[in-house]
Amino acid sequence: MPVNPSEGNKYVTTPSEVDRRWLTTDEAALYLRCSPQTIRSLIHRRELRASRLGQDFRLDRADLDRLLERRKQFHKPYAVGTHPAVAARHAANRQKRTAR
């Protein structure tokens, strides 16, 4: 699966290799666009089911899709004044006003 690192891509990304039902950790990482270590961490935390084949894991593509569905939620933008940098600036301004 690994290719020549000088080519820029760490792993082969051809559709024929990622269109299978059972994926390796590297292929699952490509599918979810994360690192293979993240996939292994999800397996060890029992958030993602996997089958062991020797020392390697095989993951069902449907389980990867279910993982994303479970984690999917609405993300609202920062409320006015709650962005960390803005909140820090407002706190500093409040402190200046009270110090006068």
Rounded distance between C-alpha atoms, residue 38 and residue 87, angstroms:
32
Instruction: Tell me the per-residue pLDDT of 33-84, one tens digit each, with 9 for 90 and over.
Output: 999 999 999 999 999 999 998 999 999 999 999 999 999 887 666 565 567 7
Of 6 and 22, the structure prediction assigns the larger pLDDT to 22
Q: Read off the pTM.
A: 0.57
Q: Closest Cα partner for 10 from 35, 32, 43?
A: 35
